[in-house]
A and B are shown apart, each in its own frame.
Chain A
Amino acid sequence: MDPALATFIQTHLVKLAELIKEPPLPLDQYGAQLLELIDPEVNSLSYMAVLHTLLLPNVTGPREVILEKLVKFLLGFDPRQIRYAGSHLLEILTLVCGGSILPPSVAVEAVSTAILKIDPAGAMFTSSHLQLARLAYSTNNIDPALKVIEKNIVFYPGMANWKKPSMLCDMTLSPSVYIHKETGFTNPVKAASVLEYDMLAGMMFCSKRDWTKAHAAFERVVSYPTRDGGCSKIMAEAYKKWVLVSLLFKGKLVPLPLYTGPAAAKNYQTLGKPYKDVGSLFDTTNAGELRTEVEKSNQIWQEDNNVGLIQEVLSAYQEWQIKNLQNIYSKVSIAEIRQQTKSAQTGSILSSDDDIEALIRNMIISNSLKGVIEKNDDGTVFLTFLPASTALSEAEFAQEMTKTAVQLKALDPIFKATNERLGTSREYIKHMIKEQKRAADKSELDPTMGFESHVDDEDLMGGVMSTT
């Protein structure tokens, strides 16, 4: 079935190219009508060929109709056929990501869907990813892009040892094989593109206040592989945000990942100093000092566009102070909490017990604190901290474990693809051949009794002995 389909698509493409070049009827007049006749899900290639001609270089024909068709196509094309026309699709995606022909919210939704149609696992980075991220972030249409942004990207275009697959329509192919600049699905990308993408992703998660994911995204930038003492400006910017987000996410400074480039780490020390200073004060009880430290560097926050994050950090300070109290108290009255925790926004304690109670209630509601507020017989209001996790029943635990196992299983195709790529690299094959030869040499009963292999081990005496 697959080989037949492949040949059929090839011939179809040739015909299509001819037709588009010399259409029997002028497309700019009849194109829209023609699109009415074709089903984008069945005849994706033909549909796209027409659409492409109508859209590029300029939109020709009835604009509204064509744009509607465009969205319909992006949401519904057949990913299998489209593999044969990656470059056309890329041109259309680039156009849409430009943001000028479709309303941004529609554009982001359509491009996100299209990207995931091409690569359902979303594991491959393409130039469209970056364009999508830019469009989504700059127009603040984050939600529709999240389904792409949240995917773990592990493959990058331009990986060495790429071989054109025999059949592009093979649905078991790893995305790293069919998404390539040769197939047209992506433009060549640079390191800066990857960095910028993760940076934008981090900032999007920040605006969604999803600190865990933001932290992970910034960390990808901060610890990006470097060579020869390289460090890019984006990495330094990301470091600053990473420090602040780690305060929000963990309540304290976390050490840099071990695999951070040494030169980059050195640069972070100097460039990120004001941020580190704030960070090291965050998990102390010294609210006033934190506040002065923040105010001291107001200029820097502004220059770095981090005023919003800094405000978040200041307002999160007291919440973390309260959270840390659970390491000391099991039950504690609201009045005592008020006395012991200060707000970093004012540098002093809150003005009334009601304020602090409201703050704690909010924390409990938002699930950032496990506890209950109770009232004593004598009228003291107090907070009881609850254990962070309760024991799961055997069945629940088994369920959790199965879920985890499924997640790990999902990594399988990635392992397989990586294994295949590395396994077929020139160096590895050379090495294998050498190893096999050695093994063959050994098994053969050669007259030197393995003298040579002993020589390899530099065990000259051993070799000599065995000949005697």
Chain B
Amino acid sequence: MASADPILHFFTIIENQSGVIVNETPKLDLDLYIANYRGRTCFDRLLLVGRSSVPLCVDALKAAITEAKKGKDVQRYRDAWECIRIAAPNEPESKWDPAWVEMTEKANKIETARLEAELKQYKNNLVKESIRIGLRDLGEHLEQVGELAAASDAYLRMRPEASTQAHILIVTKHLIGIVLQRRDWPSVLANVGKMMTNGMSDDEQKLHQPFQKLVTGIANLHSDKFYEAARNFLEVGDPSICQSCNDIMSLNDVATYGGLLALASMDRSELQSRVLDNSNFRNYLELEPHIRKAVSMFVNGRYSACLSILESYRADYLLDIHLQGHVPAIFSAIRNKCIVQYFIPFSCVTLESMHKSFAKPGESLESELIAMIRSGKLKARINTIDKLLVAVSIDDRIEMQKKGLETAKVYETEALERIRRMNIVAADLEVKGNRKSQGSALPSIAGETWFDDTRRQLSQAESTAG
């Protein structure tokens, strides 16, 4: 327990930076989890887990240090070290390794210079293909070093050198990879659009579909478009091809994202047809059986069971790099939907039974119900005296009568107003602006002194009278 204090200190700092902190132990196994990924995303995920999860903090940060040292990005090492220095000062990883840093920086510089020199040579030779390869190598190197802006610049310069459709695709994929890392979601969507515009054969389409759907889904998720994102994840397609995209997300993630977002945004019949009966997506769901279970619970109307499954996995979701920020919104959307669905067949439910099904221990459901009623999601009224939730029954007859009378009233006022306006115009009584002073704060022509006017009028009348 010697390390308890530094960890506490570390998480106080994180809390001050308003980061997410997860106290519960997640169900995932860190090594197995990270083995699902390759490339730069591993480090990002490890660092996120290290900064968020109290139980996994030290392990994850240590793994992050190891991961960073495997690569060439010095800044990443520094970031991870800054964390572990505070969280676990006694670990061997928390010693700054100046030799590695110096060596890597030097090697990076040499490599950059070498690639640039090569590129220059290719340019002199005017061979398109070698220029393209040179730029690609340079871009990839810069990406590994962590200079994302320069890397995306290099990739962009590849575009004029591209001679086939496949080349353009490569450029776009590289660019998307960069904007994903920079979390620039609108650019992701824009680039994906470019990727799929031109006519492709079915095979090619199939080949690129997973990547395209994945990145679109992520971008939509971050833009809070849950329904669109869910559709994207559900349409990812062939798992074997999708496997190759594990530098972005794993197959398990596809299942989790797709299932969760579908739960949050689709109704029961849509869930049945698009999620459970979707033969392609079934392959993914097999990887995350709890999602499958939750969805079928929802479809079968066992809402509290569905919620408790999801609730037990909340810690895992909170440690996911993309879901983290959206978990509260997704969960509350699912909860709201559960409550609405639960209530549909009834005209009146006791608050107690609602509590039993939905309330979290120690919390009252009432404020949530009030919020839902206020926002119009739930058409019901609360009766706090008899402890009931009563459905709003609309009497069509009253509605019709009200509408009829209202329409007549509106017609009358509108007709009068229109005639009035026509006649004002006919009498040339509009308030006219001075064309020149248009846009100035108050191009007032009339009534500048209208109260004075009154007085003048009165005194005039007095003088005539007196």
Contacts and interface: CB of A to CB of B under 8 A. Distances in A.
Interface of A: 56-59, 94-95, 97-101, 131, 134, 138, 152-161, 176, 189-192, 194-196, 216, 220, 224-236, 259, 261, 263-264, 267, 270-271, 326-333, 336, 376, 380, 382, 385, 387, 389-392, 397, 400-401, 404-405, 407-408, 411, 414-415, 418, 421-422
Given A189-B429, A192-B450, A404-B405, A231 B384 contact: no
Contacts of B126: none
B445 interface: yes
A328 B431 contact: no
7 closest A-B pairs by beta carbon, nearest first, are: A98-B461, A230-B433, A192-B446, A229-B433, A330-B381, A230-B431, A156-B427
A97 B429 contact: no
B384 A411 contact: no
A291 B401 CA distance: 40
B421 A225 contact: yes
B276 interface: no
A329 B381 CA distance: 5
Contacts of A264: 431
Contacts of B453: 192, 196
Contact of A411 (B412, B422, B423, B465): B412
Given A59-B465, A225-B431, A271-B441, 7 more contacts: A58-B466, A94-B461, A159-B426, A191-B431, A192-B447, A227-B430, A230-B434
B446 A330 contact: no
Nearest to B421: A225
A231 B458 contact: no
Interface string B112-139: 0000000000000000000000000000
Which of B397, B428, B454 has the most chain A CB atoms closer than 10 A to its own CB?
B454
B31 interface: no
Contacts of A190: 429, 446
Nearest to A374: B385
B70 interface: no
A59 B464 CA distance: 10
B462 interface: yes
A404 B408 contact: yes
Nearest to B398: A391
A48 to B, nearest CB: 17
B429 A158 contact: yes
Nearest to A332: B384
B360 interface: no
B370 to A, nearest CB: 6
A233 B447 contact: yes
Contact of B424 (A57, A225, A331): A225
B444 interface: yes
B413 to A, nearest CB: 8
A326 B374 CA distance: 11
7 contacts: A59-B465, A159-B427, A195-B431, A231-B433, A233-B444, A376-B385, A411-B412
A95 to B, nearest CB: 6
A153 B454 contact: no
Given A194-B429, A389-B398, A56 B464 contact: yes
A132 to B, nearest CB: 12
Interface in B409-466: 409, 411-413, 415-417, 419-435, 438-439, 441-448, 450, 453-454, 457-458, 461-462, 464-466
Nearest to A190: B446
B385 A401 contact: no
Given A153-B420, A331-B386, A267 B446 contact: no
Interface residues of B, number: 63
Given A94-B461, A227-B431, A228-B433, A391 B397 contact: yes
A95 B448 CA distance: 26
Contacts of B395: 387, 391
Nearest to A421: B426
Given A230-B430, A418-B419, A407 B385 contact: no
A385 B390 CA distance: 13
A230 B445 contact: yes
B385 A404 contact: no
B404 interface: yes
Residue among A99, A232, A382, A389 with the most chain B CB within 10 A? Answer: A232
Contacts of B464: 56-57, 94-95, 98
A298 to B, nearest CB: 22
Contacts of A333: 384-385
Which applies to chain A's interface (DSSP): helix, strand, loop or mixed? mixed
A408 B408 contact: yes
Contacts of A131: 457, 461
Interface string B382-402: 111110101000010110011
A406 to B, nearest CB: 11
B150 interface: no
A192 B395 CA distance: 48
A100 B373 CA distance: 60
A416 B25 CA distance: 81
A391 B457 CA distance: 53
Given A98-B458, A156-B429, A233-B447, A224 B438 contact: no
A233 B402 CA distance: 39
A267 B416 contact: no
B450 A329 contact: no
Contacts of B444: 231-233
Contacts of B415: 411, 415
B461 A332 contact: no
A125 B381 CA distance: 49
Given A194-B424, A418-B423, A229 B458 contact: no
Nearest to A340: B370
B427 A234 contact: no
A152 B416 contact: yes
Contacts of A192: 446-447, 450, 453
Contacts of B429: 156, 158, 189-191, 194, 225
Given A230-B445, A233-B448, A234-B447, A100 B384 contact: no
Contacts of B385: 331-333, 376, 380, 382
Contacts of B411: 408
B256 to A, nearest CB: 35
Given A191-B430, A228-B434, A230-B433, A270 B441 contact: yes
A156 B423 contact: yes
Nearest to A235: B431
B402 A259 contact: no
